[in-house]
């Protein structure tokens, strides 16, 4: 366990600078978005009320109240989240390939470490997953401050105050990123973790068999994805929920996720031990 934790710490340190850059981008762009969007709305409202001799109540009656939703659905707010998602998505591949194509073929040193090779696999997956959780935690920390800034800029007679929970629920994308319940959080991010395992296994197929491994990796990822989501496919498309209750679909999805999870671990362990070449 101690060696595994050292590997996780090592992998996280390798991406640390990029992670802090992502945090900075998110902080700067989102707060800039709050300021720009809030002042833009306030300016537009004041201009309209002045030109049409409207009271704030009349403006609200015709245009509705403003809420933080106008910020959370803007490119200023969602753009940094998309950037973080893309960077971490690319890093799923880079975390392996830089060890092969980086300076001095670093993968050779990693494979020769006095620890089980599957720990390399698990430490890389854990590092990515922890960085995802770190970005989510950072978003939750700054969200109340962004909401407070919005409230401070937009006049009270023109805005509708949303609590953090309601704020998250008003944006379907935020509801996926930060689920309303711990149960949904486990389901969504559990599926995400299994997906990382699937992609890692596909990468190891390519590293083990080169050109032939590309085909094997794609086929494995496709089959694993079908198995992972088969309960929802069967219930939602084939049977249209006529046989399975939601709790039964959930139970089946957990079973298939565990099958894919342990299948990926087994295949990856075999490839790392017997097939991967430097």
Mean pLDDT of 105-113: 78
Greater confidence (146 vs 253) lies with 146
Q: For all residues of the chain together, what is the average pLDDT?
A: 87
The answer to whether the CB of 126 falls within 8 A of the CB of 8 is yes
DSSP state of 242: S
Q: Which residues of 245-274 are buried (b: 16+ CB within 10 A; e: fewer)?
A: eeeebeebbeebbeebbebbbebbbebbee
Mean pLDDT of 247-266: 88
pLDDT in tens, 67-83: 888 888 899 999 999 99
| Highest mean pLDDT out of 45-49, 61-65, 161-165, 223-227 | 223-227
Distance CA 221, CA 206 (A): 12
Residue 52 confidence (pLDDT):
84
What the block records as the tokens of 4 is 């595994």
Helical spans, DSSP H, in 164-243: 164-169, 172-177, 182-233
Q: Report the range of poorest mean pLDDT among 94-103, 113-122, 165-174, 236-245.
A: 236-245
Residue 87 confidence (pLDDT):
96
Residue 235 confidence (pLDDT):
67
The pLDDT > 70 percentage for the chain reads 94
Greater confidence (17 vs 176) lies with 17
* pLDDT of 244 over the 80 cut: no
The answer to whether the CB of 257 falls within 8 A of the CB of 191 is yes
- Residues across the chain: 278
**pTM for this predicted structure:** 0.87
The answer to whether the CB of 146 falls within 8 A of the CB of 34 is yes
Bin 56: left if φ > 0, else alpha if -120 < ψ < 50, else beta: alpha
Residue 29 confidence (pLDDT):
96
The answer to whether the CB of 127 falls within 8 A of the CB of 13 is no
Q: Report the range of poorest mean pLDDT among 10-14, 209-213, 230-234.
A: 230-234
HSE of 59, CA atoms in CB hemisphere, 13 A: 22
* pLDDT of 12 over the 60 cut: yes
The answer to whether the CB of 171 falls within 8 A of the CB of 73 is yes
Residue 136 confidence (pLDDT):
93
Distance CA 165, CA 14 (A): 34
Q: Comparing C-alpha atoms, which of 197, 192, 199 is closest to residue 221?
A: 199
């Amino acid at each position: 366990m101690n060696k595994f934790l050292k590997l996780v710490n090592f992998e996280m340190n390798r991406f640390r600078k990029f992670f802090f850059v992502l945090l900075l981008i998110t902080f700067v762009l989102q707060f800039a978005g709050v300021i720009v969007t809030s002042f833009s709305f306030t300016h537009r409202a004041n201009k309209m009320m002045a030109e049409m001799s409207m009271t704030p109540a009349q403006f609200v009656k015709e245009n509705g109240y403003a809420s933080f939703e106008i910020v959370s659905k803007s490119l200023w707010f969602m753009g940094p989240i998309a950037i973080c998602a893309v960077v971490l998505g690319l890093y799923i591949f880079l975390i392996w390939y830089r060890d092969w194509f980086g300076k001095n073929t670093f993968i050779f040193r990693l494979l020769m470490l006095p620890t089980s090779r599957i720990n390399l696999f698990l430490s890389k997956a854990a590092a990515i997953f922890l960085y995802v959780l770190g970005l989510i935690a950072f978003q939750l920390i700054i969200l109340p401050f962004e909401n407070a800034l919005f409230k401070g800029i937009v006049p009270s007679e023109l805005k509708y105050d949303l609590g953090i929970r309601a704020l998250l629920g008003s944006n379907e994308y935020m509801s996926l990123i930060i689920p309303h319940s711990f149960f949904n959080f486990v389901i969504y991010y559990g599926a995400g973790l299994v997906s990382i395992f699937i992609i890692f296994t596909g990468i190891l197929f390519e590293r083990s068999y080169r050109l032939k491994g590309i085909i094997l990796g794609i086929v494995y990822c496709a089959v694993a994805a079908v198995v992972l989501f088969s309960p929802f496919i069967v219930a939602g498309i084939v049977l249209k929920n006529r046989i399975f209750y939601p709790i039964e679909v959930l139970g089946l999805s957990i079973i298939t996720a565990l099958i894919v999870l342990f299948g990926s671990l087994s295949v990856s362990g075999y490839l790392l031990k017997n097939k991967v070449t430097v």
